[in-house]
Amino acid sequence: MGEPPLEQFGPEMLKMDTYKLKNVVDYIRSFGKLPTDAYGQMLSVERMMEWFGLAESLTVSELQKVEIELALMIEAELYIEKVKRVNGFS
């Protein structure tokens, strides 16, 4: 089962202000769908971090936290697209 979510991360990881994290996630969401490459494939977490210009404005520990959130956003968007295809909505 693993550790409870907050215990999975070291104390340094939890230092990121929750409002700052929310603002970063809101900033990413403000663009609508996540960016894709020329072939319509979802960009990797690393490429998205570059695309949104986050590496220049966050500390290493904050980047780790945002990478986790971004990976979850990618997974959610891919799942929604899959559900739409299966149900004939797209």
Beta bridge partners of 36: 42
pLDDT of residue 37: 92
CA distance 59 to 28: 17
CA distance 16 to 26: 15
Question: Residues 34, 48: contact at Cβ < 8 Å?
Answer: yes
Percent of the chain with pLDDT over 70: 81
Q: Has this prediction a pTM greater than 0.75?
A: no
Percent of the chain with pLDDT over 90: 58
pLDDT of residue 8: 46
CA distance 25 to 60: 17
Each of the 90 residues of the chain gets a pLDDT tens digit; together they read 444 444 444 555 455 678 888 899 999 999 999 999 999 999 999 999 999 998 888 888 889 999 999 999 999 999 999 999 999 876
Among residues 9, 13, 10, which one has the least CA distance to residue 62?
A: 13
